[in-house]
Structure 1
Amino acid sequence: MTGPEDDHDNAGFERLFGGDGLTVGTGFPLTDSRQSRPPVERELELATHAEAVGFDALWARDVPFRWPRFRDTGQTYDTFPWLSHVAAHTDDVALGTASVVLPIRHPAHVAKAAASVDRLSDGRLVLGVATGDRDPEYDAFDVDPEDRGARFRESVATMRALWRGEFPEREGWWGELDGTLDLVPKPTTDTLPLLPTGHCRQTVEWLGANGDGWLFYHLPEDTLESYLDDWHAAAGEKPFAMAMQAELADDPTADPEPVHQGFRAGSEWFVDYVARLETMGVDHVLVGVSEAGESDPERALTRFAEEVLERV
């Protein structure tokens, strides 16, 4: 749901938030290859399949290094080249980052890479941004973890300036622009939509004023209601998106069981749950879809689309 002061209507943001109903996306790696390089051709086949069966977005993580203790390398490939490759193999599904870790990246590099993907995808990029959660990465990039919040705020302001203006003048922890340099390409619209992920070491008021939406993790329903109240008090009608895991049980009537960041349940329960999320005010759900036991990713995506999405 866009507000009256929004100055972007890129295709990805409109796909996710331009209508009245809740939209649903899914995320890479679709083959569930979380500790090694995923098979590219199979990932692309599943991406086009997800688009064909009705998912509204494909989200990619930002994980620079493999940290065995974390046991999750995202989709392995760097976020922006990967989404550019995905853009070439899909038509109009939104492409999201979930989420770019701003404190360990130079804001000009992020701004240029994101604007490039946005242009190459005809405006389909939605930029989730975060402060990160993998401690060794800060040492690898010579970043003091205590500076994350300030670096995040400065990165957001700098990227906005690079996208919106010509030959901007700014300085910060990243360096200085004295008005003799301009960033090209510019995005397809005035600015790329930014969705802070989690709190990003900011107040909800700051997030509401400076973000174009809020991407959060799975929360219990009573906690989610409280977060939604706080968000809309701070941000008005700006959208709220939520990530969750959905493991489909064989029995469509199976009751829910908690799993990490979500539930294992039958499709009947997921229909009711997604409908409740929409009623509560969630605008988009990023769903990691799987099946109980040995899962065929293509079948899991098809089942969730046919047994849940088409019925909500």
Structure 2
Amino acid sequence: MPDGHENAGYQRVFGPDALTFGTGFPLTGARESRPAIERELDLAAHAERVGFDALWARDVPLYWPRFGDAGQTFDTWPWLSHVAAHTDDIALGTASVVLPLRHPLHVAKSAATVDRLSDGRLLLGIATGDRDPEFPAFGVDRDDRGELFRESVDVMRTVWREDFPELATSWGELDGDLDLVPTPTTETIPLLPTGRSRQSMEWLGTHGDGWLFYQLPRETLETYLDDWRAVAGAKPYAMAVRTELADDPTADPEHVHQGFRAGSEWFVEYFRDLDAMGVDHVLVSTAGDDPERELTRFAQSVIEQL
């Protein structure tokens, strides 16, 4: 078994010298009801064909109408397994698994299973969660999120790397009589903490295999990148940004939530700038009534121009 964390998904997304692009489910844009399964799968295969490097799935255990977003509605693990069976080489990511709401042994087994079924394409974005009503629903104290997150990472790394491990945490105990099967395709599945995850920068840099963040103003992003490089060295930095392509390729940018609406020419320069700053991967969201057309437009007018 290969050493380290650089599975096929990691190599696809972070191996190239140039900026890579991913997009997230639901590709149809249905965020408050169950999306059409076959349409989602067709769009996933289309995204792969036109040049996207990763498909990212949300982890939303319960729907909270006030939040207004149910993710892709399907549970992360069976959904990514289904997507793996309908795609070939594109990386499959979680953005992001809410560790305090899931037992780490279940996460470790589910993630290793998806990683094996996809021939090593899984990237594991991990988070502490931001939907307040979910925590009492699962009997979890919100104030314990940071500690539970750290313990979960320790449990997962241990059971992936060691045979019949011994470990004691607030989640439970392993006394050396039990082992996790299957194991991942590499020593450990690459972990990408999302946001600060209620951790110090030093912890993130030491324990993460990369960092996944959100769209930030340029000066703030520069500061975050400097802070990340100081603690993480060459480990990759990924970010999510909303991208709405205007019909006019020369259109100036307008701010939208977590991103921009702009012409393709502006987006090309924007992503060139991110690449030069040291961003390694961007998770974009293509909006519109015809998602296949929008994926194609973005790939041809932005990705191919880079």
Band the TM-score falls in, shorter-chain normalisation: over 0.9
- Counterpart residue identity of residue 27, structure 1: G
1:302 partner amino acid: T
Deviation at 1:171, TM superposition (A): 1.3
Q: Which residue of 1 aligns with 2:206?
A: 209
Gaps of 5+ in 2: none
Residue 245 of structure 2 is aligned to residue 252 of structure 1: no
Question: 1:298 matched to which residue of 2?
Answer: 292
Aligned match of 1:33 in 8, 30, 37? 30
8 Å Cα contact 2:97-2:126 kept in structure 1? yes
The 5 Å alignment of 1:100-139 reads 100-139=97-136
How far residue 287 of structure 1 moved from its aligned partner, in angstroms, is 0.3
The ranges of structure 1 where at least 4 consecutive aligned residues each deviate by more than 6 angstroms after the TM superposition are: none
Q: Aligned letter for 1:253?
A: T
Q: 2:161 aligns with which of 161, 164, 167?
A: 164
* Counterparts of 2:270 and 2:297, CA distance in 1: 16
Please tell me whether residue 183 in structure 1 is matched to residue 180 in structure 2. Answer: yes
Amino acid at match of 1:115: A
Shift in Å, 1:138: 0.4
1:117 deviates by 0.2
- Alignment RMSD (CA, Å): 0.7
Distance in 1, matches of 2:131 and 2:104, equals 19
Q: How far apart in 1 are the matches of 2:285 and 2:170?
A: 36
TM-score under structure 2 normalisation?
Answer: 0.99
1:204-243 superposed matches below 5 A:
204-243=201-240
The one of 1, 17, 20 equivalent to 2:17 is: 20
Give the distance between the partners of 1:53 and 1:125, measured in 2 at CA: 20
Alpha-carbon displacement from aligned partner over 1:243-282 (angstroms, at most 9, x marks no partner): 0100011111000000000000000100000100000000
SS in 2 for 1:176: strand
For 1:3, the equivalent position in structure 2 comes to: none
Deviation digits for residues 38-70 of structure 1 (CA, Å, limit 9, x no counterpart): 000000000000000000000000000010000
Quick one: distance in 2 between partners of 1:301 and 1:272? Answer: 19
Name 1:310's counterpart in structure 2.
304
Distance (whole Å) between structure 2 residues aligned to residue 215 and residue 21 of structure 1: 17
Give how far 1:284 is off: 0.2
Cα offset, 1:8, TM superposition: 2.0
| Partner in structure 2 of residue 274 of structure 1 | 271
**1:150, distance to aligned residue in structure 2 (A):** 0.3
Question: Which amino acid in structure 2 is aligned with residue 311 of structure 1?
Answer: Q
Match of 1:143 among 127, 137, 140: 140
Gaps of 5+ in 1: 1-5
Deviation (angstroms), 1:174: 1.1
Helix, strand or coil at the partner of 2:260:
strand
Identity of aligned residues (%): 72
Q: 3-state SS of the aligned residue for 1:135?
A: coil
Q: Tell me the CA shift for residue 7 of structure 1.
A: 1.4
SS in 2 for 1:276: helix
Tell me how far 1:289 sits from its aligned partner: 1.0
Match of 1:61 in 2: 58
Q: Distance in 1 between matches of 2:118 and 2:101?
A: 25
How far apart, in 2, do the equivalents of 1:236 and 1:206 lie?
13
Match for 1:50 among 43, 47, 64?
47
Residues matched between the structures, number: 304
Which amino acid in 2 is paired with 1:298?
Answer: E
